[in-house]
A and B are shown apart, each in its own frame.
Chain A
Amino acid sequence: MSKNFSLRSLLVRPEVATFLMFLAIMIGFYIANERFLDARNIRIVMGITPEYIIVAIGIAILMISGEFDLSVGSVFALVPMTIVQMVHQGIPPWFAIFLGLMIGIIVGFVNGFITLRFGIPSFIATLGMLYIARSLTTVATAGFPPPFPHILPNELFVYQFELFRASLYWALLVAVVLGVMLHRSNVGNWIYATGGDQNAASSMGIKTGNVKMFCFILCGFLAGFAGMIQTFRLEAPLPSQGYLLELESIAAAVIGGVSLFGGIGTVFGAVIGAILIRFLESGIIMARIDAEWFRAGLGSLIIIAVVFNTYISRRATRIGQNKAKD
């Protein structure tokens, strides 16, 4: 009896559903083309995935706290562009990296400040920031994308090992550290409480404004850090980098079981969600389907994931209510 119950409670965990979806897609595309799971293809896909994983983790934690950030795609471009331009101005590479990452933190702070101070939806505050940061990136480009300064220590972040790039290990480090923070630390408990029910959380003495501000800053920092990794990998700072990434990272979080209403989600789910999207993209190409179908596939996946999770959480609640009636 107790074993049955634990299996049931495992199945109602949203990230388990995501993982099953992930397996289904991997097997499906493998059947369509065996080379989908070749070391070569895995190397290609996992070479670009870490950047998306890092952004998705930031978005997921912010969404769990009950807020959104639509500016991550723009920050993803602004931070590396600033780093590159600062190095061209003669600023030492490590100091430029430090200042660049600070910009991500500042953008996160401004997003949080505007949202919390003026009590407007973060959707709007960060939509504004999406345009502002993208515009700043283009301005910083000064009309022509600058060359990549090779004195930057990019190998440290993107060195290609046998199968994986260094960036994957950075992403795993971020996932483990933030996973422990979210699921094991008291800060994580406050984040879930704030997103789950802000009034209840503050009546229990949690400073919900500070918790949200922390999540905004973390999200901005991670978006900038991930953008830096992409520029280091491509060795080309592009003002268009990270275009539509904000929606894709929300998609990754949602596919990974993060609730749009806050209070639900895991770091693991966001990681799987991000990997799933990249393999979906690769699988469609490998299966010789027109690549334009990628977005249709992604769209369907989002809808299926949310419908499934809503169904499951309703069911879980109903189990509880029926039990109460006994």
Chain B
Amino acid sequence: MEDIIVCEGLNKYYSGVHALKDLSLKIKKDSVVGLIGDNGAGKSTLIKILSGAHQPDSGHIYFEGNKVKFKSTKEAMNLGIETIYQYSALIPEMSIARNIFIGREQTQYNVGNFGLMKTKTMQDDAMKALTDVELHLRSPDTPVNQLSGGERQGVVIARAMYFKSKVLILDEPTNHLSVKETNKVLRFVEGLKSQGVTSIFITHNLSHVYPIADHLCVMARGEKIADLDKRDTTIDHLTDLLVNG
């Protein structure tokens, strides 16, 4: 299978700290990649670079075979790389429909970049997007702060799906969720594969990502210490790598 993202020799320093050391990584299309590592392992730095939020000090990124350089998250999003951050993916007080279309509103009577929102279309499309990820909520006008943690992740995933993301980067999507809600999120992510979406699942909880991952990448101290196909490894082996580096 072809690789959708290839990283070559990425390095990143934060005021003298070498946060990412010569990292190379290949991500296969339509797979679920588990990116695991303890706190401070460099997972966040890597995803910030892949999502366009930060720029690497050296190294190259190839997306679908083309060399890319993201200056902003918007640029990465336009290519189809969508990142879901741990805490800040949705605006709690805003409705589901408005959240799904933040920054990408459907508008009419446009003057330049500004226009009136097609509220009805946005509501209908929001409901459809939710149904597509098997999330059945009552109304697209419900404020997000009335949803459970798992439902919120579902909304975010529905949003990424709606905008035809090719790669979905999920930063600790199961943190602080109950077992039942975690399973819901895992099902969402598993469903992405069949729809042609590659996901990168960042977590420090191996037991969450192991059941659904095709490939696992272990990081420690800013380096990649293992890059394994699930068939070639076991949960015990990975645990050992995580704990002992």
CA distance A323 to B148 in the complex (A): 8
Over the window 143-169 of chain B, the binary record of Cβ atoms lying under 8 Å from chain A Cβ atoms (1 yes, 0 no) is 101111111000000000000000000
By a CB distance below 8 angstroms, the chain A residues around B141 are 9
- In the complex, A203 has a CB within 8 A of chain B: yes
Chain B interface bracket (under 10, 10 to 19, 20 to 34, 35 or more): 35 or more
CA distance A186 to B122 in the complex (A): 12
- In the complex, A4 has a CB within 8 A of chain B: no
- In the complex, B61 has a CB within 8 A of chain A: no
A320–B102 CB distance below 8 A:
no
A320–B147 CB distance below 8 A:
yes
- In the complex, B114 has a CB within 8 A of chain A: yes
Contact of A201 among B83, B102, B114 (CB under 8 A): B102
Instruction: Give chain B nearest CB distance to A149 CB in angstroms.
Output: 36
A186–B148 CB distance below 8 A:
no
By a CB distance below 8 angstroms, the chain B residues around A263 are 91-94
- In the complex, A324 has a CB within 8 A of chain B: yes
Pick out which of these stretches binds chain A: B71-79, B124-132, B202-210.
B71-79
- Given A184-B117, A203-B83, check contact A324 B151 (CB 8 Å): yes
A204–B114 CB distance below 8 A:
no
Over the window 98-123 of chain B, the binary record of Cβ atoms lying under 8 Å from chain A Cβ atoms (1 yes, 0 no) is 10011111010000011111010000
CA distance A193 to B145 in the complex (A): 14
A193–B117 CB distance below 8 A:
no
B103–A200 CB distance below 8 A:
no
B145–A204 CB distance below 8 A:
no
By a CB distance below 8 angstroms, the chain A residues around B116 are 180, 184-186
Instruction: Give chain A nearest CB distance to B69 CB in angstroms.
Output: 17
By a CB distance below 8 angstroms, the chain B residues around A321 are 146, 148
Chain A interface bracket (under 10, 10 to 19, 20 to 34, 35 or more): 20 to 34
- In the complex, A281 has a CB within 8 A of chain B: no
Tell me the chain A residues, 171-216 only, with Cβ under 8 Å from chain B. 180, 184-190, 192-193, 196-197, 199-206
- In the complex, B85 has a CB within 8 A of chain A: yes
By a CB distance below 8 angstroms, the chain A residues around B103 are 190, 193, 201, 204-206
Residue of A180, A189, A263, A321 with most chain B CB atoms under a 10 A cut-off? A189
Residue of B83, B94, B147 with most chain A CB atoms under a 10 A cut-off? B94
Contact of B94 among A193, A205, A324 (CB under 8 A): A193
- In the complex, A304 has a CB within 8 A of chain B: no
By a CB distance below 8 angstroms, the chain A residues around B98 are 189, 192
Instruction: Give chain B nearest CB distance to A221 CB in angstroms.
Output: 17
A319–B114 CB distance below 8 A:
no
- Given A193-B94, A203-B53, A204-B103, check contact A324 B115 (CB 8 Å): no
The 10 A-B residue pairs with the shortest CB-CB distance in the complex, in nearest-first order: A320-B146, A324-B148, A196-B91, A205-B74, A186-B105, A200-B88, A199-B88, A204-B103, A205-B103, A204-B102
28 contacts across the A-B interface (CB closer than 8 A):
A180-B116, A184-B117, A185-B116, A185-B117, A186-B114, A186-B115, A186-B117, A189-B94, A189-B98, A192-B93, A193-B102, A196-B94, A197-B88, A197-B91, A200-B90, A200-B91, A203-B53, A203-B73, A204-B102, A205-B73, A205-B104, A206-B103, A263-B93, A316-B143, A316-B146, A319-B146, A320-B142, A323-B146
Known: A192-B91, A204-B102. 11 other contacts (CB 8 A): A2-B138, A184-B117, A186-B114, A186-B117, A187-B114, A189-B101, A192-B93, A193-B94, A206-B103, A263-B93, A320-B145
Q: Which residues of A contact B (CB under 8 A)?
A: 2, 5, 9, 180, 184-190, 192-193, 196-197, 199-206, 263-264, 316-317, 319-321, 323-325
